[in-house]
Amino acid sequence: MTMQSPAPDNRENFNLIFEMLQDEYPNAEPMLHFNNPLELMVATILSAQCTDKQVNKVTQVLFKKYPSVEDFANASLDELGKDIYTTGFYHQKAKHIIGSAQLILTEFDGKVPNTMEDLLKLPGVGRKTANIVLARGFDIIEGIAVDTHVTRLSQKLGFTRNSDPKKIEIDLMSLAEKKDLENLSMTLILHGRNVCIARRPKCGVCVVNELCPSSEA
More confidently predicted of 1 and 79:
79
Residues in the annotated binding site: 196, 203, 206, 212
- Catalytic residue at 118? no
Which DSSP string do the residues of the chain spell out, in sequence order? -PPPPPPPP-GGGHHHHHHHHHHH-TT----S--SSHHHHHHHHHHTTTS-HHHHHHHHHHHHHH--SHHHHHT--HHHHHHHTGGGSSHHHHHHHHHHHHHHHHHHSTTS---SHHHHTTSTT--HHHHHHIIIIIH----S----HHHHHHHHHTTS----SHHHHHHHHHTTS-GGGHHHHHHHHHHHHHHTS-SSS--GGG-TTTTT-TT---
Same domain, 90 and 131: yes
Instruction: Please provide the average confidence, as pLDDT, over all residues in the chain.
Output: 95
In a domain, 122, yes or no: yes
Looking at the predicted structure, is the pLDDT value of residue 1 above 60?
no
Looking at 128, 156, 167, 171, which residue is catalytic?
128
Looking at 147, 156, 167, 179, which residue is catalytic?
147
Residues in the annotated binding site for [4Fe-4S] cluster: 196, 203, 206, 212
pLDDT recorded at residue 6: 79
- Catalytic residue at 147? yes
How many structural domains compose the chain?
2
pLDDT tens-place string over residues 136-145: 999 999 999 9
In a domain, 214, yes or no: no
In a domain, 2, yes or no: no
Same domain, 86 and 50: yes
Looking at the predicted structure, is the pLDDT value of residue 206 above 90?
yes
pLDDT tens-place string over residues 170-201: 999 999 999 999 999 999 999 999 999 999 99
